Chains A and B, each alone.
Chain A
């Protein structure tokens, strides 16, 4: 855990968080957030695509299937916990559940950064799992929310457009395809921009994310103790599922750590945008605070090294 804290990426996040909590006037220009998020999504996709170019595609099939299963099972479990134990309304429970089933690309980038720092190898196709895990949970969340409710007609067209052509999935997918077509050699001309500068940009982005997350901390009181607890326990439950499925589908310790982290992470780009349109009755303060104010910092600081240990343990138990 101490090792993880000494990663510049995590320290930058803490720096942003502290600046926000202490009300420093540090504020990055709005365009920086946008530029960096576009850059990171594209770079994650390109890097993943180039690595995919060199890997055996048939190896990806069972982990990919496992990802889709996780994307469906996690929101269902989350929904029942929130609805039965937390007594949240159906729309609120469904919308929060969708966030926990979907993934955070930045958390994914941080786990890869962590694994390369500790020199733990992982499968080259993991970016495919990221792309696959983003979608199903959002669909499950919308489905649960709209069961038995009589809210207005679902604007399927707008929603599909929001999800599939929303920047996060589009940039990841485009990067993946371009990276795959070009391969590592074809990407050489842009390697300096998209590979070498990646960790610096990620650290810079996390400074901003620390500030954004600190703004969410003010809402912790409003969302209540149950949701705060949920924001920590749900990723733990999900990561256990991720570890078991990772080992069961033949992933290495590194790959299992990635799958567990993906399972544990909660979306804060694609899911909120989709939920706001598909489930307008759900209170956005609840899902954004849980995902961005609790789960994201938890995963970054405590979760990732913990999931790595869990992956090792699961491998020695089941492997």
Chain B
């Protein structure tokens, strides 16, 4: 099995499409997104109405793409939006997919 990076982004649903477009441009081949709710330094986001929803976006990609994504997101969104990004090592069965 080959190693890849799992990039997990938790952010405001409002900018989901912007983030996904950026991530694809940086070389991700695919992504998975689910609705989320939670609490953090910018308060509680209960997900009870449109602007109070979070999403969790997951991307499996190679190391350099993962770092490019992290750099870009940090520069573009960290200051003004509720967002956290973290990386994890994962093993994949079909490396050519990622």
Q: In the bound complex, do residue B43 and residue A272 qualify as a contact, i.e. CB atoms below 8 Å apart?
A: no
Q: In the bound complex, do residue B12 and residue A276 qualify as a contact, i.e. CB atoms below 8 Å apart?
A: yes
Q: How large is the interface on B (under 10, 10 to 19, 20 to 34, 35 or more residues)?
A: 10 to 19
A15 CB within 8 Å of chain B: no
Q: How far is the CA of A272 from the CA of B81 in the complex (A)?
A: 13
Q: How far is the CA of A268 from the CA of B18 in the complex (A)?
A: 21
Tell me which residues from 44 to 92 in chain B have a Cβ below 8 Å from any Cβ of chain A: 46-51, 76, 80-81
A212 CB within 8 Å of chain B: yes
Q: A residues within 8 A CB of B43?
A: 285
Q: How far is the CA of A215 from the CA of B46 in the complex (A)?
A: 10
B51's nearest neighbour on chain A, judged by CB, is A272
Contact of B18 among A30, A158, A212 (CB under 8 A): A158
Q: A residues within 8 A CB of B51?
A: 268, 272-273, 276, 284, 288
Q: B residues within 8 A CB of A273?
A: 14, 50-51
B44's nearest neighbour on chain A, judged by CB, is A215
Q: How far is the CA of A260 from the CA of B61 in the complex (A)?
A: 54
The answer to whether A269 and B17 touch (CB under 8 A), given A280-B80, A280-B81, is no
Q: How far is the CA of A268 from the CA of B15 in the complex (A)?
A: 17
The answer to whether A215 and B80 touch (CB under 8 A), given A276-B15, A285-B43, is no
Tell me which residues from 233 to 285 in chain A have a Cβ below 8 Å from any Cβ of chain B: 268-269, 272-273, 276-277, 280-281, 284-285
A211 CB within 8 Å of chain B: yes
Q: B residues within 8 A CB of A288?
A: 51
Q: How far is the CA of A155 from the CA of B76 in the complex (A)?
A: 13
Q: In the bound complex, do residue A277 and residue B50 qualify as a contact, i.e. CB atoms below 8 Å apart?
A: no
| B49, B80, B81: residue with the most chain A Cβ atoms closer than 10 Å | B49
Q: In the bound complex, do residue A277 and residue B48 qualify as a contact, i.e. CB atoms below 8 Å apart?
A: no
Q: B residues within 8 A CB of A284?
A: 51
The answer to whether A277 and B46 touch (CB under 8 A), given A272-B51, A288-B51, is no
A33 CB within 8 Å of chain B: yes
Q: B residues within 8 A CB of A212?
A: 48-49
Contact of A211 among B15, B17, B48 (CB under 8 A): B48
Q: In whole Å, how far is B79's beta carbon from the nearest beta carbon of chain A?
A: 8
Q: How far is the CA of A33 from the CA of B14 in the complex (A)?
A: 17
Q: In the bound complex, do residue A158 and residue B17 qualify as a contact, i.e. CB atoms below 8 Å apart?
A: yes
Residues of A near any B CB (own CB < 8 A):
27, 30, 33, 152, 155, 158, 211-212, 215, 268-269, 272-273, 276-277, 280-281, 284-285, 288
Q: 13 A-B pairs, CB-CB below 8 angstroms?
A: A30-B47, A152-B76, A158-B17, A158-B18, A215-B46, A268-B51, A269-B50, A273-B50, A276-B14, A277-B14, A277-B15, A277-B18, A281-B80
